[in-house]
Structure 1
């Protein structure tokens, strides 16, 4: 894990590069970041589903994923 100073320096360096990037490149970077965020949410949901299944043995990954997608849709709406 990075220190606050390391994190701040990295963000500054990224901002310098972003400010020099073409608009199309920015669009691609944004799409990749969104995909990463979605995958992280799915991984968290998977981990939670595993914990739930270990606890009571009744929640499958497909059920947990459906529930996550439903919750995401509710939050967006």
Structure 2
């Protein structure tokens, strides 16, 4: 994970390049960022449903069994 200073420097460098880019390039960059965002949303939803399913499938385990497993 980047530090706040590294993050700010990267954003500044990106802004310099964006201001130099052609309109068509900006459109492509925007479309790519949208695609990345959509994929991240899909991944988050998959992870959510997997975790929810896991909880639902494993919620029938007795608390005493869980405590014993943790103790071992």
Q: TM-score normalized by structure 2? A: 0.77
Q: Which residue of 1 aligns with 2:53?
A: 53
In structure 2, the gaps of 5 or more residues are 58-72
Q: Which has the larger radius of gyration?
A: 2
Matches within 5 A, 1:1-77: 1-57=1-57
Tell me how far 1:40 sits from its aligned partner.
0.4
**Displacement after TM superposition at 1:41 (Å):** 0.4
C-alpha RMSD of the superposition: 0.6
Runs of 4+ in 1 over 4 A off after TM superposition: none
Q: How many residue pairs get matched? A: 57
Specify every segment of 5 or more residues in structure 1 that has no aligned partner in the other structure, as ranges. 58-77
